[in-house]
Structure 1
Amino acid sequence: MTADPLAQAITVARALEETGELVEGVPAPDTGALVEGYRRLVLARRLNEQASALVRQGRLAVYPSSRGQEACQVACASVLGDGDWLFPTYRDTAAIAARGVDPVEVLSMLRGDWHCGYDPVVHKVAPQATPLATQLLHAVGVGHAARLRGEDTVVMALCGDGATSEGDFHEACNFAAVFAAPVVFLVQNNKYAISVPLARQSVAPSLAAKAIGYGMPGVRVDGNDLVALDHTLGEAVARARAGQGPTLVEADTYRMESHTNADDATRYRTDDEVAEWVGRDPLRRVQTYLRAAGALDDAREDEIAAVAEEMAAGVRAGLGAEAAVAPEELFAHVYATPTPQLVEQRAGLRTELAFEEA
């Protein structure tokens, strides 16, 4: 921690320059671990590409791509222990996959299925939240409950810059700070809340600076720098696990693609702006460093690419198959004891289905 909390919340922490060179004075990362991190980045990028293609093929209803934010997606999952929880947003598909959930299950919700596709308790991953910031309150609740039980669980709560304009964000941060909940708030500041730029949302010197008002540390980090993210988020997780309360981490990154396939980003941002951030690609930065360090060659790259293609093929196969339809599931999880109206409606559905099958 620096002596000046505001300076820490404004200064962007970085380990790898955009050119892929190590920042002067920063210790060299473990190359073996970084190669594994690069493998995860490639998988995340390929998942984004495959999911976007499935939307165009009509296999997914919508897909909010995290292309350009893969370093955030990988790092937030990598720093968690097996007993920790991840609370994602609708844009964090790659983070959930990096946590170990089958990508086909992760994408089930986006094909129009009725549930989130995976078992949150088994994977310690909450359902993806579409409403902004609502999952932050749930994350703090899980963290607070774990602390009351004496567990060493840490909760990673994800959100975007747009969510910081919501009242739920304030309530979650304030409660977490007051009760020292073991929560790490990771704000992926990708510069736009759909079409609303950050400058129209906040005039604070940084989003991380908001943490000072809650009495928790605020840290700003280069969100396209996997090495810096691993270090910063790792420190925040360790701090929470040690009973020192929450940390607000702002990752300075960019959404390279449109908000979703239903959005036209050319209406509110320029090609030059996008091109500038494409030059800061998180994958290329790590790749360049590892190549220069002699830890990554063509053969290893081919191996990683093959694994990514195998994953993509599995996603295509899984989502290409027609989903099994069980109409009576409509009534399965509404009330423990069905109301008379639901009983009547279920009977009516059964009659209709029997008529169709006759």
Structure 2
Amino acid sequence: MQQSMDFPGGRVALTSKMKFIFESSEQRIPCYRVLDDDGYPISSSGFEQVSREIAVKMYSGMVTLRNMDTIFYEAQRQGRISFYVTSFGEEAIGVASAAALSPDDIVLPQYREPGVLLWRGFTLQEFAHQCFGNKADYGKGRQMPIHYGSNKHNYFTISSPIATQLPQAVGVAYSLKMDKKDACVVTYMGDGSTSEGDFHASLNFAAVMEAPVVFICRNNGWAISTPVSEQFRSDGVVVKGQAYGIRSIRIDGNDALAVYTAIRVAREMAISEQRPILVEALTYRVGHHSTSDDSTKYRPIEEIEHWKTAQNPLARFRKWVQRNGWWSDEDESELHENVRKQLLHAIQVAEKTEKPQLSDMFTDVYDQVPSNLSEQERLLRETIKKHPQDYPSDVPI
């Protein structure tokens, strides 16, 4: 007769048989997909019906993002901006997940989620101003390029250190819970973030506090030059949720409809059931990690080309949109041409816009600037006057 006993945390069955839990199951957790490689819906996938308006906006956003990445990457290579990070191969995750959210949902991103901002109405000119760090940049030039942020769009400013946004996201979600808001928090990370302590602390924090937060992990195969095989021995990221008591799902991150459907359901569960959800989106980072990286030094070019062509998220979604009669080759050409013109104009404007005032380096942290910062500003101004040849002439003093 099986017996059980109450222990801290709940009732546990007792057994006289010693049995270790195996480190992993024989079969990997399956990956939810809606569209096959040729863009045909898979039978019984039960995907969320998408209107023509939403579908076209999703596809247009993905195309716009790819064009933006191409042109800003070239601008960095020309020395016009100092740094850039692309989303090549991962466009579906940011755009499609944003389409599944409410504008009231709060986003704490990593650095490959400009698609979320695009969806929410952040303009190409605003992207350009931030990358050029001029006085129209909301961060007043104090952040690296691509570290976007927008209060208007409920999009927290990106920070470079990996995974720091995760515990913050849980705290924000708990505040929504306390205020009984009809919204959730969505936070993004790469697979490399799951190797940080903040990831594990955040999952435990969210589970215990029952915070309405959706964790979206872009498992793109590479944390800079470290492959996932050298990061963890578990079956990817999705299984980590169960260990913390979090409902989880693995999805095809290159399938825009699968991302849209899964995030719509995850959001609903997070809000209605007041619980965290972990989503592992399997994808591939086609581009270099950043403009400071050369990924051909640590992975074969053939591998990159395979994912660039055979598993292209834009190509797959375009086939589905076209089969529905919502898109044409003419629409495609017109979109590329218009976006390119807008981007080139935005860059020209951003380049000609003045840099922020020097005093902006010392403001916006304290209500009243403390004496040590005032002293630093005084010393900086004296140094600039003494050595003007060593400082940019276009920075307003």
Is 67-76 or 320-329 further displaced after alignment? Answer: 320-329
2:113 matched residue in structure 1: 92
1:227–1:353: structure 2 CA closer, same or farther, 3 Å change rule? same
| Corresponding residue to 1:263 among 271, 285, 293 | 293
Q: 1:224 aligned to 2:245?
A: no
Against the structure 1 CA distance between its residues 342 and 132, is the aligned structure 2 distance closer, same or farther, given a 3 Å change threshold? Answer: closer
- The answer (yes or no) to whether the contact 2:72–2:84 under 8 Å persists in 1 is yes
Deviations 1:328-358 (A, max 9, x none): 222223433333333334344555667879x
Partner of 2:50: 30
The answer to whether 1:346 aligns with 2:377 is yes
For residues 241 and 9 of structure 1, do their structure 2 counterparts lie closer, same or farther at Cα, with a shift above 3 Å needed?
Answer: farther
CA, structure 1 residues 258+350, in 2 after alignment: closer, same or farther (shift >3 Å)? closer
Counterpart among 185, 210, 235 of residue 155 in structure 1: 185
1:5-154 alignment runs, 5 A limit: 10-26=29-45, 29-30=49-50, 32=52, 33-106=54-127, 108-111=129-132, 113-115=141-143, 120-154=150-184
2:324 and 2:371 map into 1 onto residues whose CA distance is: 69
Rate the CA distance shift 1:274–1:183 in 2: closer, same or farther, 3 A. Answer: same
One-letter amino acid of the structure 2 residue matched with residue 315 of structure 1: A
* Structure 1 residues 317 and 148: alpha-carbon distance in aligned structure 2, compared to 1, 3 A threshold: same
Cα pair distance change 1:21/1:110, threshold 3 Å? same
Contact 1:68/1:281 (8 A) holds in 2: yes
Compared CA separation, residues 208 and 85, structure 1 to 2 (3 A): same
Is 2:177–2:274's contact at 8 Å kept on the other side of the alignment?
Answer: no
- Asked if structure 2 preserves the Cα contact closer than 8 Å seen for 1:105 and 1:118, the reply is no
| CA distance in 2 between partners of 1:148 and 1:15 (Å) | 36
Q: Give the one of 320, 331, 347 matched to 2:362.
A: 331
Task: Write the mapping of 1:176-325 to structure 2, written as runs, cut at 5 A.
Answer: 176-278=206-308, 279-325=310-356
CA distance in 2, matches of 1:232, 1:9: 19
SS of the equivalent of 1:121 reads coil
Asked if structure 1 preserves the Cα contact closer than 8 Å seen for 2:90 and 2:254, the reply is yes
Q: Distance in 1 between matches of 2:223 and 2:164?
A: 16
TM-score normalised according to structure 2 size = 0.82
Q: Is the 8 A contact 1:224 1:281 kept in 2?
A: yes
Q: 1:334 and 1:209, CA in 2 relative to 1: closer, same or farther beyond 3 A? A: same
1:204 partner amino acid? S
Secondary structure of the 1:12 match is coil
The alpha-carbon deviation at position 95 of structure 1 amounts to 2.7
Structure 1 pair 64–153 and aligned structure 2 pair: CA distance change class (3 A): same
Contact 1:191 1:198 in 2 (8 A): yes
Deviations 1:243-262 (A, max 9, x none): 33111000010110111111
Write the distance in 2 (CA, Å) between the matches of 1:252 and 1:36: 23
Summarize deviations over 1:73-98 as a string: whole Å, max 9, x none.
10122122121111111222333223
Report which of the two has the higher share of helix.
1
**One-letter identity of the residue aligned with 1:219:** I
What secondary structure does 1:80 align onto? Answer: coil
SS of residue paired to 1:10: coil
8 Å Cα contact 2:61-2:118 kept in structure 1: no
C-alpha distance in 2 between matches for 1:109 and 1:170:
32
Bigger RCO of structures 1 and 2 (CA < 8 A, at least 6 apart)? 1
CA distance in 1, matches of 2:174, 2:77: 42
Range with bigger deviation, 258-267 or 112-121: 112-121
> What is the RMSD of the two structures over their aligned residues, measured on CA atoms?
2.5
**Unaligned runs of at least 5 residues, structure 2:** 1-24, 134-140, 389-395
C-alpha spacing 1:187/1:40, structure 2 compared with 1 (3 Å): same
Give structure 1 stretches of 5+ with no counterpart. Answer: 1-5
SS in 2 for 1:184: strand
Higher-Rg member (1/2): 2
In the TM superposition, residue 304 of structure 1 has moved relative to its aligned partner by 2.7
Q: Distance in 2 between matches of 1:158 and 1:31?
A: 26
